């Protein structure tokens, strides 16, 4: 997606070979007009997929996922992160480990908000190792709902997330694909 590629190149800050800071328009401050365009782009890409709900993971996925839900006229379902290990029969729960942050958390989904009649689109800001998306998929499967695809704003294509998801047969659409990061260096894949 041209608009997001331009913003990443202009305002993204590559800290090292692994981390791209996008605090000014995605993570800490959000550009609503950019988010609207992002939502419309996902809606266009997945328009014929029969989607009934958008699913995202708090917190940075919420803004683009909401705009996608708005553009597709479907509800947005948020997977919550919780440190709690308490079992709750009204919740589907799974543990996700973040390699980037070196932490684990419990991802939860309220069971009454999803059913086997749902066909969902997962939206998230970054795809790195694919752990968050894989956790989301585990929860959606517990509900016997089906997955239309995964929409990502920024994919770090040199990390294994895409391959992991494609191996399981999922359709991935990433608006920006980064082939290389280094201090002050951002290289994008031609799309
Ligand atoms: P994975 O889900 O693809 O395996 O990624 P990983 O666990 O390694 O990353 C976990 C968190 O780090 C996610 O945020 C993800 O968005 C973020 N992240 C990964 N790589 C980058 C990067 O290069 N730049 C930035 N800015 N973030 C990155 P999170 O913990 O879910 O936090 P949030 O949604 O509350 O912001």
Which DSSP string corresponds to 51-68? --EEEEETTTTHHHHHHH
- Which residues 6+ apart lie within 8 Å of 39 measured at CB? 64, 66, 67, 68, 69, 70, 71
Counting ligand 1 atoms within 8 A of each CB, the residue from 82, 98, 139 with the most, and so the one to mutate, is 98
d(CA 58, CA 189): 27
d(CA 72, CA 57): 18
Q: How many folded domains does the chain comprise?
A: 1
Determine if ligand 1 sits within 6 Å of the CB of residue 178: no
129 known ligand binder: yes
Determine if ligand 1 sits within 6 Å of the CB of residue 134: no
Q: Mind listing the pLDDT tens digit for each residue in 130-168? A: 999 999 999 999 999 999 999 999 999 999 999 999 999
d(CA 107, CA 111): 13
Tens-level pLDDT at each residue, the chain (191 residues): 999 999 999 999 999 999 999 999 999 999 999 999 999 999 999 999 999 999 999 999 999 999 999 999 999 999 999 866 666 778 999 999 988 888 899 999 999 999 999 999 999 999 999 999 999 999 999 999 999 999 999 999 999 999 999 999 999 999 999 999 999 999 999 88
Calculate the CA dihedral of residues 166, 168, 174, 176 and round it to 10 degrees.
-50
Nearest to 123 by CA among 191, 190, 54, 179: 54
Residue 72 belongs to domain with CATH number: 3.40.50.2020
Determine if ligand 1 sits within 6 Å of the CB of residue 99: yes
Domain range spanning residue 174? 2-188
CA of 93 to the centre of ligand 1 (A): 19
Determine if ligand 1 sits within 6 Å of the CB of residue 101: yes
């Amino acid at each position: 997606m041209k608009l997001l590629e331009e913003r990443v190149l202009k305002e993204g800050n590559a800290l090292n070979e692994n981390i791209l800071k996008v605090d000014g328009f995605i993570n800490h401050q959000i550009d609503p007009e950019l988010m609207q365009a992002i939502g419309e782009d996902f809606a266009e890409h997945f328009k014929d997929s029969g989607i009934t709900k958008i699913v995202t993971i708090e917190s940075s996925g919420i803004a683009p996922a909401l705009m996608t839900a708005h553009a597709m006229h479907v509800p947005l379902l948020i997977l919550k992160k919780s440190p709690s290990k308490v079992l709750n029969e009204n919740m589907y729960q799974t543990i996700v480990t973040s390699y980037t942050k070196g932490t684990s958390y419990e991802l939860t989904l309220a069971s009454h908000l999803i059913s086997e009649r749902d066909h969902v689109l997962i939206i998230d800001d970054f795809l790195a190792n694919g752990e968050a998306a894989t956790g989301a998929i585990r929860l959606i499967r517990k509900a016997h709902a089906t997955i239309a695809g995964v929409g990502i704003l920024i994919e770090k294509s040199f990390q294994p997330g895409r391959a992991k998801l494609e191996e399981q047969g999922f359709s991935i659409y990433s608006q920006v694909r980064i082939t290389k990061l280094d201090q002050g260096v951002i290289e994008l894949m031609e799309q």
